[in-house]
Amino acid sequence: MFDTDTFNAALFFPRDDVTPPPADAVDLEIPGDVPLHLRWHGPDGLPTLLLFHGNGEVVADYDDAAPMFAAAGARLAVVDYRGYGKSAGTPTLRTAIADATRTLATMLAVAGPPIIVMGRSLGSACANELYGAMPDGVVAFVLESGFVDLAGLVRRRGMEAPVQLAPADLATFDPAPKLARGTRPLLVLHGADDALIPAREAEAAFAAAGTRDKELVLIPDRGHNDVMASRLYWDALRGFLAGFSQR
């Protein structure tokens, strides 16, 4: 199912919006079979937070938020999936997950450690892939408004979830085993009133994570796309990021 054009056309909402980087940012190309576009914001001297953004978003959507990430303690880097912004190709869930590894490798080569990996909504699939791999140079992970229920993901696309998935598909697409393998610090942020991906999925992700160093923050009166408007969001992120530049 996850490799069908029908599923991926229902899952992804690419935008080809392209803007020049702000004065304090640079645009980078992630090399590979299909080049990807990444925008890396300043200032220097902070650990890099590599963000896999939500569906229907592009790197430019985070230009205004980059200073807030810097105030929270991290230099923001945002990558576009295939078919989004300046990134070439056509998006699929399989390639989005696979591309996370080469994106991280490029950022480690350019920025160096420490790096914090963050996945928002659909981007949690990429973050979970890296969480289970526990790559060197990554000191922590953040999941925001993410999913953990594969059947729920399929149903939200208006399709019927398979009764049983092949072991190879589960290994690639199921977030829960990847979370169980991970031992790095983890912050889970989610709107308590999220009507798209319910907060119980954040609770499930938190429970599944193998690390003892984890925190779950359900943000009151917030849904799927307005969690960043909450002061609690930034307070939680700032508290979590504190000290990682020294680790």
The per-residue pLDDT for 245 is 59
Domain residues for the domain of 239 are 5-246
Nearest-angstrom CA–CA distance, 226 and 52: 17
Nearest-angstrom CA–CA distance, 66 and 139: 20
Going by C-alpha positions, the residue among 213, 199, 78, 69 that lies closest to residue 147 is 199
Counting Cβ atoms within 10 Å, is residue 58 exposed (0-12), middle (13-18) or buried (19+)?
buried
Total count of domains within the chain: 1
pTM of the model: 0.96
Q: Is the peptide bond before 114 cis (omega within 30 degrees of 0)?
A: yes
The per-residue pLDDT for 246 is 47
The per-residue pLDDT for 3 is 92
Residue 81 in contact with residue 40, Cβ under 8 Å?
Answer: no
Going by C-alpha positions, the residue among 196, 232, 41 that lies closest to residue 122 is 196
The angle subtended at Cα 190 by Cα 158 and Cα 41, nearest 5°, is: 100
**Tokens 């399709």 label which residue?**
159
Residue 122 in contact with residue 51, Cβ under 8 Å?
Answer: no
pLDDT digits 0-9 by tens, 2-27: 999 999 999 999 998 899 999 999 99
Looking up residue 218, the CATH number of its domain turns out to be 3.40.50.1820
pLDDT digits 0-9 by tens, 222-238: 999 999 999 999 999 99
| Each residue's pLDDT expressed in tens, for the chain with a length of 247 residues | 899 999 999 999 999 889 999 999 999 999 999 999 999 999 988 999 999 999 999 999 999 999 999 999 999 999 999 999 999 999 999 999 999 999 999 999 999 999 999 999 999 999 999 999 999 999 999 999 999 999 899 999 899 877 788 888 899 999 999 999 999 999 999 999 999 999 999 999 999 999 999 999 999 999 999 999 999 999 999 999 997 854 3
